[in-house]
Amino acid sequence: MPTKSSTSPNAAERVRSACAHAETSVLALPGIEPTPTSVHHLRRCGDVVIAVPTGSAAALTAKSGPAGAPAVLELTDNAPLPLREPVRALVWLRGVVRTVPENAERALAGEVAAEFPHPQLLDVGHGATLLRLVIGTAVLADATGAESVPAAQVRSARPDPFCQMEAAWLQHLDADHPELLEQLARRLPPRLRTGEVRPLAVDRYGLTLRVEGHDGDHDVRLSFTAPAEDVESLSRAIRTLAGCPFLNGLRHS
């Protein structure tokens, strides 16, 4: 688990957050074309519940034996702002995929809905089939590089506490606080200050800016002096980074 001296989430937490942010995922099974999923949810227990079309090759392959089939689920975490390179992170979850017994599908869909109320869970049993991926390993790739994460660490980790509000928060910062972004840009290396600065990500440890310059894209992380514990301390941490501790916060008007 991260310590008080941490300046960024650990890899397992970043996997959890990226999976929570990801709007698209693709399931790869041996011998068939990758299958887009309509639902993907990394549960607190550490396995992934996936919905695929009932008649798809993926659903049939997963039923091929009682032991299940080896599989890889690829998830794409895109930035919540329109950027010229939208992908923030990719996650590959490798393990064994199994079908969920038909008499247990609705109950499992209800359990997932309690954590992740996705509207397409209503299709389970009516054109969509649930699969369960038992994770063996996870690989995360983002601007910092690629890292393999053991399944036990993924199971024990939780997403960043600001994960669910991050998209709205970054959109608000980008649209309504250009003066704050201008102040934050002053913390960038001089060679990057001529590019367009956009907020890319935020977590309890810091803010990441994307600089779209003539020489490409550059991501710069600005760490908070201490981890944010709630919305108030997050707003205060951003203002402190910008050198404007007395500015109004990032609350919606």
22-49 tens-digit pLDDT = 999 999 999 999 999 999 999 988 899 9
Average pLDDT over residues 186-207: 93
User: Please, is 88 exposed, middle or buried when counting C-beta atoms within 10 Å of its C-beta (0-12, 13-18, 19+)?
Assistant: buried
Mean pLDDT rounded to a whole number for the chain:
91
Res. 4 pLDDT band, cuts 50 70 90: very low
Whether 54 shows a pLDDT value over 80: the answer reads yes
Q: Name the architecture of domain 11-156.
A: Roll (2.30)
pLDDT at 250: 54
pLDDT at 66: 73
Whether 164 shows a pLDDT value over 70: the answer reads yes
Task: Specify whether the CB–CB gap between 99 and 64 falls below 8 A.
Answer: no
What residue spans in the chain does CATH classification 2.30.110.10 cover? 11-156
Average pLDDT over residues 55-74: 89
pLDDT at 158: 95
Average pLDDT over residues 180-203: 92
Question: pLDDT digit string (tens) for 132-153?
Answer: 999 999 999 998 899 999 999 9
Question: E-assigned strands of the chain?
Answer: 24-28, 35-36, 39-42, 48-53, 69-78, 87-99, 128-142, 145-150, 196-203, 206-213, 216-223
Res. 63 pLDDT band, cuts 50 70 90: confident
* Percent of the chain topping pLDDT 90: 82
pLDDT at 67: 81
CB neighbours (10 Å) of residue 107?
A: 11
Whether 56 shows a pLDDT value over 90: the answer reads yes
Average pLDDT over residues 7-27: 95
pLDDT at 143: 86
Whether 2 shows a pLDDT value over 50: the answer reads no
CB neighbours (10 Å) of residue 97?
A: 25
Main-chain phi, psi angles of 60, to 5 degrees = -70, -40
Q: What is the CATH number of domain 166-241?
A: 3.20.180.10
What residue spans in the chain does CATH classification 3.20.180.10 cover? 166-241
pTM for the complete prediction?
A: 0.89
pLDDT at 253: 43
